[in-house]
Amino acid sequence: MSGKHIDTTKSNEEFWKELGIDIEKHDELMKVLPEVFENVYLTQKNRPKSIAYFDKFIADIHGARPKEVVERKNNGDKVIGAFCAYFPEEIVHASGAVPLILCGGADFPVADAEKVLPRNTCPLIKSSFGFRTSRTCPYFLSADLLVGETTCGGKKKMYELLNEYTPTYTLHLPHKKDDVEARKLWLNEVKLFKNKVEELTGNKITKDRLNDSIIRVNRKREVLQELYDTRKVNPLPISGKDVLLVMQLAFFDEFDRFVEKTGELVKELKGRIKRGEGIAPKDTPRILISGTPMTIPNWKLHDIIEKSGAVVVAEESCTGMRYFSDLVDENSVSTNAQLKNLAERYLHINCACFTPNTERPEDVVRLAKEYNADGVVYYVLQFCHEFNIEFAKVERALKEEGIPVIKIETDYSQSDTGQLKTRLETFIEILRASKPKIHTGKHLTSVKHPASVEIA
């Protein structure tokens, strides 16, 4: 649609047509989603009221927000889509363009992708590619530029093919973060990306604009950390599923509104904590999920866990803590210093793509303790060699601390749901058996871990 004015006041269907959506296929997708959402989300009891904003967002996810994005385009702004937590969105904001982290969590477009990509490729890669080639995602079709990155072999080679549909720019993330040359290379990549964005938008990214953008993205990361802090408490004031939804929308929503709405949610949750209200009894086993990301509408693992008598208390994931941990220094004296601080911040993300990656097993142990998790579910998207092999080290680190862990490798299909449910129910039963029964009004103290934290 690049450059074309599109009327956003018309019906969704008219809007989609103008955008170039394959209406017939898209209708099939839209038929499935509400039912899935209802079954996963609306069956939950005692949800916080402020989650209504996010429910509403998802209910019209291909309508209202894409229209806003296209309005920005009608006004001359560019749209830049990406796929990964290494995408330095501050630079995009500072240029006046709209950053989006794109679809890739649905099984629906996988069949389309498999016309080109091998079947035994990670479902996230197939889903992203398929959403573009099947023309069923308005976000993809709004993008003027897609930004890939070299986090894994599958993605890096997929981006070469994606470039044949929409111009795709691949950030060169090094394999190591601890050597001087690798840091130089990455800093240079961040600079080149700034140049690329300036060239695309025609806007100069000044020190002031970048500083403003750094501060605003920091606020987004802070409010997400506050949201996660409420999950350290027992009983848990919000389900894992609901937080996952907020996290997923953090990549799509308009920036300031998202911070405001998440702030309202945090406020409500703090009230719940004060009143000792939870979404599950205090002796409910608490799970940390660690591993590969989950993008909309990939709610499969959370749903199974939370329907099997446990709660998810945190995600060591790129659709979790890896997205918002670490802020960027707000006091840089020059654009160069800003870019250096940005580059450094992004290199702190402990993705399994790095070698070695000793910080990640340490992180998982630390987070399990911080969030008072009774056990860890290690989540691997099928055929992700990096996270799959790194499990050996994470498992060892957890075992040394006596923290139970189970590895779940799966895709986006529903074919293994029954089997996963059985395995996870058993795991949760073991966790429950090793927990002391709660009879008092006091906070739960688990067998191995420090006492629960109360924040207010």
Residue 98 bridge partners (DSSP): 79
For residue 143, which of 152, 151, 154, 131 has the smallest C-alpha distance? 131
Please work out the total of residues on this chain that contact its own copies, with binding judged by CB under 8 A: 45
DSSP symbols for 210-258: HHHHHHHHHHHHHHHHHHHHGGGSSS-SS-HHHHHHHHHHTTTS-HHHH
* From candidates 234, 262, 341, 382, binder to its own copies by CB under 8 A: 382
In the region spanning residues 110 to 139, those forming contacts with its own copies, defined by CB under 8 A, are 116-118, 120-121
> With binding defined as CB under 8 A, does residue 36 bind its own copies?
no
* From candidates 179, 199, 256, 330, binder to its own copies by CB under 8 A: 179
* From candidates 51, 143, 158, 244, binder to its own copies by CB under 8 A: 158
* From candidates 111, 389, 453, 455, binder to its own copies by CB under 8 A: 389
Q: Strands, DSSP E only, in 233-332?
A: 286-291, 311-316
Cβ contact 388:411 at 8 Å: no
In the region spanning residues 344 to 363, those forming contacts with its own copies, defined by CB under 8 A, are 352-353, 355-357
Between 335-347 and 207-229, two packed helices, what is the crossing angle to 10 degrees? Answer: 30
Residue 240 phi/psi, 5-degree rounding, is -60, -40
Residue 80 phi/psi, 5-degree rounding, is -125, 120
Residue 291 bridge partners (DSSP): 379
> With binding defined as CB under 8 A, does residue 161 bind its own copies?
yes
> With binding defined as CB under 8 A, does residue 159 bind its own copies?
yes
Q: Which stretch binds its own copies (CB under 8 A): 41-49, 148-156, 198-206, 440-448?
A: 148-156
* From candidates 14, 27, 71, 160, binder to its own copies by CB under 8 A: 160
For the bound state, the minimum distance from the C-beta of residue 386 to its own copies, rounded and expressed in Å, comes to 4
Report the distance separating Cα 281 and Cα 272, nearest Å: 14
For residue 70, which of 27, 128, 7 has the smallest C-alpha distance? 7
Cβ contact 138:62 at 8 Å: yes
* From candidates 66, 96, 104, 154, binder to its own copies by CB under 8 A: 154
For the bound state, the minimum distance from the C-beta of residue 243 to its own copies, rounded and expressed in Å, comes to 29
Using CB under 8 A, list all residues that contact its own copies. 116-118, 120-121, 150, 152-154, 156-161, 170, 172-176, 179, 181-182, 184-185, 188-189, 352-353, 355-357, 382-386, 388-393, 409
